[in-house]
Structure formats: structure tokens, C-alpha cells
Amino acid sequence: MDTTDARFPAGEYQLMAEQVRQVQRELAEIRETAESGDRLISATVDARGRLAELWLDPRIYRRSDSAALTEDILGTYRAACAAAERKAFEVSASLLAMDATPAGTDLAFDPVLRELERLVRETGGAR
């Protein structure tokens, strides 16, 4: 797309790009940690839900039920992911539609799509 087109001024694109870059920087800093109910497991994830750290208290090895241990680890990981997702949504809110919800939002694309739609509306659309 030609950014010199008067309907899509380069300044608008630069502003949108800077807003997206700022959100990217904030998302890159997100780290959310959850602990199991017994505080023997801790999981830390980034904004995308990637496991950054998993901590197991040595007392956890006293358990003989590996299925329960697996569920506790997964539950703790999922809780950390949910917290990171909420935080990522909050960070991205300025680039989302007013009626956006965490469940219905694709944080990878919705902010950019919203800004592009705004630009098209404000400039009268493409040729």
C-alpha cells in the first residue's frame, strides 16, 4: 500500500506502528506466576503462555500419585496462563474495540485490524 496516498497519510501509519510497538514491548515484559493450592508448585509464563519457569518443592516427591501430581502441575500452569492472558488483554486494550472481550479477541491480529479499520473509516477507504 502506498503510504504517500493522501487518504492514508504516512503519519497515521507511523503513529499506528508506534502504538503497536509499545504494546509489543509491554507484552514482552509480561511474566505471570501461579502457585498450587499447597504451594509446592509454581509456574511462570510469558504473555503467550510459554513456560518460563517451573518450580517444584522437594516435598512434592513424597507423593506416590503421579496422576494427581500431573494434574496439579497442569492446573498451576493453566492458572499462570490465564493470569498472563488477562494481563496481555489489559496491555492491548488501547488497540482493541471498545466491546472486545478476552475470550473473543485474538491479541496477535485484532489490534492491528482495529487500527486499519479506523484508518479506512477516517480516510474514506481505499480506491
Question: 110-123 and 10-28 helices cross at what angle (nearest 10)?
Answer: 160
Q: What is the pTM of this model?
A: 0.76
Helix, strand, or coil (residue 36): coil
Where helices occur in the chain by DSSP H, the ranges are: 10-28, 66-92, 110-123
Q: How many whole angstroms separate alpha carbon 91 and alpha carbon 46?
A: 13
Is the confidence at residue 2, as pLDDT, over 70?
no
Output DSSP code: residue 9: -
Domains in the chain, please, with CATH? 10-123 (3.30.1310.10)
Cell of 110: 485484532
Lowest-confidence region among 12-26, 43-57, 102-116? 102-116
How far CA 96 is from CA of 30, 33, 116, in Å, comes to 18, 25, 11
pLDDT of residue 3: 46
Please give the mean pLDDT across all residues of the chain: 85
